[in-house]
Chain A
Amino acid sequence: MNKLKKIISEVLGIKQDDITDDLTPDTAKSWDSMNALILVAALESAFHVRFTSVEVTGIKSIREIKEALIKRGIEGLNAD
């Protein structure tokens, strides 16, 4: 099971099959400002990484989340 999709699914309450790189707060109703913080906190904990304050408040799509994780050496984000 894809670890990233599992976390996003749990925090945002979205089916894993519906999670695409293009998903944004505009297209996911549950991706509000509070859930955005909870999501970043969950990602930090699960992947043992730290995001900058700019990233914490600035990440606006699944694609950007992946880019931020890849930048920190996290691999296999697209695996099923």
Chain B
Amino acid sequence: VEKINFFGEDVEFDHIGIAVKSIDEPYSKDKICDPIQRVCVAFINIHGCKAELIEPIDENSPISGMLKKGICMYHLCYKVPDLDSALDIARQNGFLCLSEPVEAVAFENRKIAWVFNRSYGIFELLESKIKSKIPGQQ
């Protein structure tokens, strides 16, 4: 399989993002709401794959439109050692930067940024300074 370094070296897969209309029991007890991203999220482990369930806060949430179109799986998230550097490399590889880095409450206030590629879709980049605290993950 061809290895592609979209975002530089020492990049690790973190999770997939799954848009849902609402985060129901039993996952709702671990729900974290992020007013900056206008979503609430909860993490689950699907057969060893970390998944982020993402629920819109309101109609103006960025995922509301996707849900209306029936799009559920909509992003892959990668941990990067240096977010600014990863964004520069992403730009060189033809990605659009959708946001400047911002702190994300769902990731212990580590910074995230969003990028888009016409062929590959939307990716979330996450600073990898703190180890994941998700059960079942290292």
Contacts and interface: CB of A to CB of B under 8 A. Distances in A.
Interface residues of B, number: 15
Interface in B71-105: 91, 94, 96-100
B96 A41 contact: yes
B116 interface: yes
A53 B101 CA distance: 10
Given A33-B66, A37-B118, A41-B94, 12 more contacts: A32-B65, A33-B65, A34-B65, A34-B66, A37-B96, A37-B116, A41-B118, A44-B96, A50-B91, A51-B96, A53-B96, A56-B96
Given A38-B118, A41-B118, A42-B118, A56 B65 contact: no
Contacts of A50: 91
5 contacts: A37-B122, A38-B118, A42-B118, A44-B96, A51-B96
Interface string A36-73: 01101110110000111100110000000000000000
Given A38-B118, A41-B116, A41-B117, A57 B65 contact: no
A33 B99 CA distance: 14
Tell me whether chain B's interface is mostly helix, strand or loop, or mixed. mixed
The interface centre, meaning the residue of B99, B117, B118 with most chain A CB atoms within 10 A of its CB, is B118
Contacts of A45: 94
Interface string B98-131: 1110000000000000001110001000000000
A4 to B, nearest CB: 17
Contacts of B99: 53, 57
B62 interface: yes
Q: Which 5 A-B pairs have the closest CB atoms?
A: A41-B118, A53-B97, A37-B116, A33-B65, A56-B96
A32 B66 CA distance: 10
Contacts of A56: 96-98, 116
Contacts of A52: 97
Contacts of B118: 37-38, 41-42
Nearest to A38: B118
